[in-house]
Structure 1
């Protein structure tokens, strides 16, 4: 893997496992030092294991920051701990921010609660805003910064039971365009819109909801399983899901492209990261 991000500092929220962990691994593989943010005590062991693996594999420095970025003080705490760890010779710069932390809270119309929406909005939309604001004094001054917001395919396809998730991720996409203008002298700002991913995210969903995932995967032309390439387990699982979910590496590689020096002419965009499940005109 090219070390095109050598020496840069990346902050990844929600990074202890799943896509967040894959993003941290991918950026570290390109040479970036990584701040691994997570919230729950239950994620501490996974975060420590991830950090040790990253440092061993890629020879970069990591920092673990356990804080709740949905609180008023959380984003500032995240940035201050990163600053205390990575300041060198009086200089501290944040080159990359990946707003990955998110929550789904699926519920059909008629059963959405106030707390469902409020808690989803706090993490999916409000937290990225205040993380970026806390980081602004430390972003580059030469447009070399990169901010990538992890949105969702659900914002474009009106997927069932997703009033909270699609609504708050749609807000994140709208703010992406605002931030692309306001932060243009410091960083590019883009979003990606993954669909189903191999994260185990469906294990807690009701069967009725799982059945609806079939249409999401079926619409993605690249989701058809490949005999002899995908594992037999993946090929079998895809039969009941309409197609295979994305490998985490496939999605993290798209984020890596958006963080590269060569991506400096892309900003304010929602980049398809769903195997063609949703095709949009940019």
Structure 2
């Protein structure tokens, strides 16, 4: 059987790198992407292509190069993303737009570029990496929650639009995993004269602690592998510790104000 060709955006580090390394060990032909190849001159875990999810031309060139090299693309994993924290009132509008540009519009651009090839093949699987945070409006992470929640809904619509072409699509929503996302995340500054100074500062500490103590991203890779082997993937998958996944069950069964109170208690707000 021919190797399946997998393209992973944002594959040079974190969850994307873990997925790529694991799939390569399972005999997939893996290509990750990065905006700057020169930063990864010594990267030898799998192939890397230049791709910037903000730039449609960059995406089209990467897809064309991959098709020229392999003749097909079996799986797209939309993993590239950015974090953003801050009181919404004090988060600069341009940073909000950047977050949506990367986490929502970026995956849509990549999907649009890859669909003609998958439609020609009459096959393909697209996995969008979202977040458990996308299922709830989290204090001081509201913009991040919104970007990931929007991608979940876009996937629901896309699945129905693609059903006649043999192309499958699903979401994978990770909880907190120990990656370098915090180092690249935009933090609205904690302003000395801000009415949000203390609650935002305390919440930011809690967020960073959750990420630092998060699980091994190999758990996400294991789930991705399982999904690829599945004939009819579900619409939504969640991966994380018990309490993170259980929080989604509680959101579905508890009255809104009770659930909100649980979040406020969790963040000590």
Q: Please give the TM-score of this superposition, normalised by the length of structure 2.
A: 0.77
Shift in alpha-carbon separation, 1:181–1:111, aligned structure 2, 3 A: same
Larger fraction in helix: 2
Equivalent-residue separation in structure 2 for 1:264 and 1:101 (angstroms)? 25
Of 37, 40, 51 in structure 1, the residue corresponding to residue 36 of structure 2 is 40
Measure, in 2, the Cα distance between the counterparts of 1:257 and 1:77: 30
User: Which of 22, 26, 30 lines up with 1:30 in the alignment?
Assistant: 26
Aligned to 1:73: 57
| Aligned residue number for residue 134 of structure 1 | 113
Answer whether contact 1:188 1:266 (CA < 8 A) is retained: yes
CA RMSD, 1 decimal: 2.6
Alignment of 1:40-59 (within 5 A): 40=36, 43-45=39-41, 48-49=42-43, 52-54=44-46
Matches of 1:244 and 1:104 in 2, distance apart?
Answer: 17
Structure 1 residue 210 displacement after superposition:
4.0
In the alignment, the residues of structure 1 paired with residue 139 and residue 122 of structure 2 have an alpha-carbon distance, to the nearest angstrom, of 39
Q: How many angstroms apart in 1 are the aligned matches of 2:108 and 2:78? A: 9
Structure 2 gaps of 5+ residues are 191-200, 253-269
The whole-number CA distance in structure 1 between the counterparts of 2:99 and 2:147 is 7
* Aligned residue pairs, count: 233
Q: CA offset at residue 152 of structure 1?
A: 0.7
Contact 1:6-1:31 within 8 A present in 2 as well: no
Whole-Å Cα distance in 1 between the matches of residues 45 and 76 of structure 2? 21
Gaps of 5+ in 1: 55-61, 87-91, 215-239
Q: Distance in 1 between matches of 2:238 and 2:142?
A: 21
1:186 Cα deviation from its structure 2 partner: 2.4
The secondary structure found in structure 2 opposite 1:97 is strand
CA contact (8 A) 2:125 2:168 kept: yes
Secondary structure of 2:90 counterpart: coil
2:231 to 245, 264, 278: 264
The structure 2 residue matched to 1:195, chosen from 159, 175, 188, is: 175
Q: Deviations over 1:114-173 (max 9, x none)?
A: 111111111111111121111112216687522111101111232221222111111110
TM-score, length basis structure 1: 0.74
Alpha-carbon distance in structure 1 between the residues aligned to 2:32 and 2:153? 26
